[in-house]
């Protein structure tokens, strides 16, 4: 069952494959010394799978779009049993004990309550000393913060053009909000 109608429509229509971003790979290699068991939230069509496959990580993933997962499983059949369609803001349907949990702009496409709940789930799913690495959280300084429709404080939607056209909610955070959300974590790096 698809858990994000907006992302399902996006992937079903466009079958986007943006590739692995060099900045994301840089974050991984800067901060992770032991990949071991990895969970990716918002796998998309598998843009990051080649990186994790190359380094020999025990890759798992959660995606909200069945269309995206169908593409991912077709490209990477060996992970077919390790990627699931689920709402990662409500559950992480894998045994806890991940060495690394990663997010490349998936969590920020939710409202604040869902993001807060998701951060708690991430904390509980990591092994002691495990790392959470996120790329592309959107700042309240982002050019799109004042555009779209205000859904709640920090959350916008209804974009008709630009970067966020047709993808539902986008949450923008500032540093105090991030400090609050990650209060149970030891911060290593914020850029």
pLDDT in tens, 102-143: 998 899 999 999 999 999 999 999 999 999 999 888 999 999
Which whole number is the average pLDDT over 129-158? Answer: 93
- What is the C-alpha separation between 80 and 179, in angstroms, rounded? 36
pLDDT value at position 28? 84
**pTM exceeding the 0.85 threshold for the entire prediction:** yes
- What is the C-alpha separation between 191 and 174, in angstroms, rounded? 12
| Three-class SS state of 152 | strand
- What is the C-alpha separation between 112 and 29, in angstroms, rounded? 29
């Amino acid at each position: 069952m698809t858990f994000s109608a907006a992302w399902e429509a996006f992937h079903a229509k466009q079958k986007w494959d943006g590739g692995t971003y060099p900045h994301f790979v840089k974050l991984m290699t800067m901060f992770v010394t032991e990949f071991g068991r990895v969970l990716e939230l918002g796998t998309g069509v598998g843009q990051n799978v080649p990186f994790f496959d190359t380094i020999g990580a025990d890759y798992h993933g959660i995606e909200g779009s069945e269309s995206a997962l169908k593409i991912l499983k077709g490209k990477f059949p060996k992970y077919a049993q390790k990627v699931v369609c689920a709402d990662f803001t409500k559950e992480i349907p894998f045994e806890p004990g991940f060495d690394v949990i990663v997010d490349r702009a998936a969590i920020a496409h939710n409202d604040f309550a869902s993001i807060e709940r998701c951060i708690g789930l991430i904390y509980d799913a990591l092994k002691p000393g495990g790392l959470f690495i996120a790329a592309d959280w959107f700042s309240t300084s982002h050019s799109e913060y004042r555009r779209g429709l205000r859904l709640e404080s920090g959350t916008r939607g209804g974009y008709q053009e630009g970067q966020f056209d047709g993808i539902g909610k986008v949450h923008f955070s500032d540093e105090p909000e991030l400090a609050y959300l990650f209060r149970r974590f030891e911060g290593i790096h914020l850029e």
